Amino acid sequence: MFFVDTIEVPGLGNRGHLAGGEHTAVVVDPPRDIDRVVAAAARRGVRIGHVVETHVHNDYVSGGLQLARLTGAAHLVPADARVSFARTPVRDGDEVTVDEAAGLTLRAMATPGHTPHHTAYVLRERGAEVAVFTGGSLLIGAVGRPDLVEPRLTESLARAQHASVRRLAAELPDATAVLPTHGFGSFCSSSGRATDDSTTIGKERASNDALTRDVDAFVADLLAGLDDAPAYYAHMAPVNADGPAPIDLTPPAPADADEIARRLAAGEWVVDLRHRVAFAEGHVSGSLNFEADGKLATYLAWLVPWGKPVTLLAESAAQLAAAQRELARVGIDRPAAAATGDPASWLRDGEAAASFPRATFADLAGRPTDERAVVLDVRRDSERAEGHVRGSVHIPLHSLRGRLGEIPDGRVWVHCASGMRAAIAASLLDAAGREVVAVDDSFDGAERAGLTTTTPA
């Protein structure tokens, strides 16, 4: 009898997997914080015999190298992936034994597309295919995006992705469980349409565009639908190819009010992890709001200049530790400093907390007609294409820091789809000295509030 345990990384929209029998197991695409994987194996009472990578990852720092060194497991990496560390190269058709007593084996299948060297792994129980770890190849209702390696390769990789998914469907039974790494909110997915939490080869055969459409139509739609990828992705593959350093989750140096002020004055980033409501009500002037419970790692790593020191402000030690763990997954290894508590302890004597108002779309619709105001939409291009407030200025959140000068004069009412990204944008505008209102509301309410919305032809 075999098991598969999922190692969730919801902030990044990813999953790692621990699979095995009674005695030994394999780990597929582990996150950088490998203590979670080790704990999962301990709960099962199994030894980790193999650690495998489906590809050199673009969206997070892999824990594979350190996990293999810690456990003595063989580290399987696609043979054509260029890496700077010793590993066991894997080629199409290679097979290893996962748990001999359980009759579990793992077979490599070359599935280029997400990357040129991408490899899926088929789990067999006594010769029967029971699951396939598809990494960034076949996802739930989608495929991994093909544009993260080199622009000149994008179309050819998209065509390879179509062929790879069809190979999986042709060679595996319909009942085979499909266990991808990406696709649960990850920007490595080519589409955000998937709503199911699990799938099989048979389900995908009936609904996945790669399996229901011819290659030309599939590639055209895939390429047309690609949105911008997070800027920090450019740093992940080189880190993973060089061999990531072990994770360090020891607490950062504590910062008092004077040091927070010094770091702000030096142009460093001071990030307030509290909920957007608390931040809007009062915060250290110049600090930026990235909610700990939002997509913290994705958006902070996307916006912060790479390598700039980051100081974290948290409500509690637990919130700080969770944020530090999440940021380490994307290579923001060591916060420069940190403080816990609330603005009362982060401000110097005599300093007042900064604040800005929050509003709904109904408030926006009901504002005085003579108010000199700007409506700023910080959603992505694909979201705006589905409808926007007429007359609004559009600057996607990930571009905002470098385009603040494009925003016309006046009070800025900033919105996104639900409020979280608007809060980040509002904090950037507030830090830049603009008068801002954060629209903390669902975009579905814009038209109901009486605002004229437009969908481009």
pLDDT tens track, the chain, 457 positions? 899 999 999 999 999 999 999 999 999 999 999 999 999 999 999 999 999 999 999 999 999 999 999 999 999 999 999 999 999 999 999 999 999 999 999 999 999 999 999 999 999 999 999 999 999 999 999 999 999 999 999 999 999 999 999 999 999 999 999 999 999 888 888 775 556 789 999 999 999 999 999 999 999 999 999 999 999 999 999 999 999 999 999 999 999 999 999 999 999 999 999 999 999 999 999 999 999 998 999 999 999 999 999 999 999 999 999 999 999 999 999 999 999 999 999 999 999 999 999 999 999 999 987 788 999 999 999 999 999 999 999 999 999 999 999 999 999 999 999 999 999 999 999 999 999 999 999 999 998 998 988 876 5
Q: Give the burial class of 370: count Cβ atoms within 10 A of its Cβ; 0-12 exposed, 13-18 middle, 19 or more buried.
A: exposed
Sign of CA dihedral 418, 421, 424, 428: negative
pTM value is 0.94
- pLDDT value at residue 271: 98
Contacts of 108 (CB under 8 A, 6+ apart): 76, 78, 90, 91, 92, 93, 94, 95, 119, 120, 121
**Please, how many CA atoms are within 13 Å of residue 240, restricted to the half-sphere of its CB?**
26
- pLDDT value at residue 192: 55
**Are the C-beta atoms of 377 and 401 separated by less than 8 Å?**
no
Rounded distance between C-alpha atoms, residue 102 and residue 94, angstroms: 19
- pLDDT value at residue 193: 52
Report pLDDT digits (tens) over 259-309. 999 999 999 999 999 999 999 999 999 999 999 998 999 999 999 999 999
**Which residues are 123's β-sheet partners?**
106, 131
Alpha carbon of 448 to those of 104, 312, 418: distances in Å?
56, 38, 15
**Please, how many CA atoms are within 13 Å of residue 292, restricted to the half-sphere of its CB?**
20
